[in-house]
Amino acid sequence: MPLTCITGRGSLYYPPPDSGGGSEVGSMVDFDFEDDELPSFFNTYAGGVISTEQAYSGTRSVKCTAAEDEANLDWLAGKPLHRLTQGDEIWVRFRTFFPTGYDFSVSTSLKFLRVDQGANSGVNRGHGAHIDYYLQSANDTDVGFWNFIQEDIQSWMFAGAERPPSGIIRNTWQTWNFYLLLHSVASSARVRLWCDETLIIDSNTRATLGAATNEVGSIADGNCQGVMFMTYWNGGSPQAQSCYLDDWAISTNISGAPTATDGAGNPWIGL
């Protein structure tokens, strides 16, 4: 039976988003971070802090700070209440602000958004290999390129010059939408990434689950990590620096797909 969300404090995510500016948008949980504390949805990592230094909407956002050489960022991540299995879908939307001078230099790849997935039993249920949107070949001036990998397969979606430019612009707010159709067969899976209104990636050339029985874990799965923002910086951050995140929204087919569509008719959470 479909689950519904009641004024942002509903049943899809646990603990309920009882702080941090949760609200209902259809059946989607949306956090605007206008309260004093991070929403309790961020039950895996909660390394960001509420700040008034920058905001896209309202007066607050989440300030995410990396120390020089820090690799494990652990800023924002949360586990859904319900496990997601083959054929399920997940949409994520958030906005970022990277100040002038933000240095994206990375030894190999920066894990920009990742979703944990793994076997459907045992101590590591829903954990073990990640579904990753990576930022690559960036530095103190260049904002690099996107790539995608599902770690059970270890096969990059793009090679070299095929990689699409990241589209990141420093010192301005940008909106990112992500979509995953979970499947162990590439032709039945789907990966999408938008920057603002531009669809950057739309592909079914890579599986998004390592096996047909794999799952995205839930709050019941102690070792799974859920949905994560900029969780690991290969080689460590080149300097002490902060970025900002606002208006985090998340939906699944269990709660009800977003009703908005992009210019091509693809469902997305939107701007």
Give 125-128 contacts, CB < 8 A, sequence gap 24+.
125/215, 125/217, 125/221, 125/223, 125/224, 126/83, 126/215, 126/216, 126/217, 126/218, 126/221, 126/223, 126/224, 127/217, 127/221, 127/223, 127/224, 127/225, 128/210
Return mean pLDDT, the chain.
87
235 membership: H or E segment, kind and range: none
Neighbours of 206 (CB within 10 A): 17
Alpha-carbon Rg of the chain, whole angstroms?
17
The third-level CATH classification (topology) of the domain covering 64-241 is: Jelly Rolls (2.60.120)
Position 114 scores a pLDDT of: 92
Task: Please report which confidence band the pLDDT of residue 27 belongs to, taking 50, 70 and 90 as the band edges.
Answer: low
226: left (phi over 0), alpha (psi -120 to 50) or beta: left
Mean pLDDT across 24-47: 79
Instruction: Tell me how far apart the alpha carbons of residues 92 and 246 are, in angstroms, rounded to a whole number.
Output: 12
Q: How do residues 91-134 score in pLDDT, each as one tens digit?
A: 999 999 999 999 999 988 999 999 999 999 999 998 988 999 99
For the chain, domain boundaries: 64-241
Token representation of residue 256: 């009800």
The C-alpha atoms of residue 14 and residue 250 are separated, in whole angstroms, by 13
The pLDDT, as a whole number, for residue 192 is 97
Residue 164 DSSP code: P
Distance CA(226)–CA(199), nearest Å, equals: 24
Half-sphere exposure (CA, 13 Å, Cβ side) for 135?
Answer: 22
Q: What whole-number distance in Å separates Cα of residue 145 and Cα of residue 136?
A: 5
Bridge partner residues of 242 (DSSP):
65
pLDDT band at 24 (very low <50, low <70, confident <90, very high): very low
pLDDT at 39 over 50: yes
Tens digits of residue pLDDT in 215-252? 998 888 889 999 999 999 999 999 999 999 999 999 99
Most confident of 2-11, 31-40, 249-258, 259-268: 259-268
pLDDT one-digit tens code per residue, 166-176: 999 999 999 99
pLDDT of 23: 38
Region 142-155 average pLDDT: 91
Three-point CA angle 83, 89, 91, nearest 5° = 105
Give the whole-angstrom CA distance, residue 229 versus residue 116.
12
CB atoms inside a 10 Å sphere around CB 157: 20
Q: Tens of pLDDT along 165-211?
A: 999 999 999 999 999 999 999 999 999 999 999 999 999 999 999 99
* Strand extents, DSSP E, the chain: 22-25, 28-31, 45-46, 49-51, 61-66, 76-78, 89-97, 109-118, 128-136, 145-150, 173-181, 190-195, 198-203, 227-233, 241-252
Where b means 16+ CB within 10 Å and e means fewer, 226-262 reads bbbbbbbbeebbbeebbbbbbbbbbbbbbbbbbebeb
Q: What is the mean pLDDT of residues 159-166?
A: 91
3-22 pLDDT, tens digit each? 223 223 233 443 344 444 44
d(CA 214, CA 267): 24
pLDDT of residue 81: 75
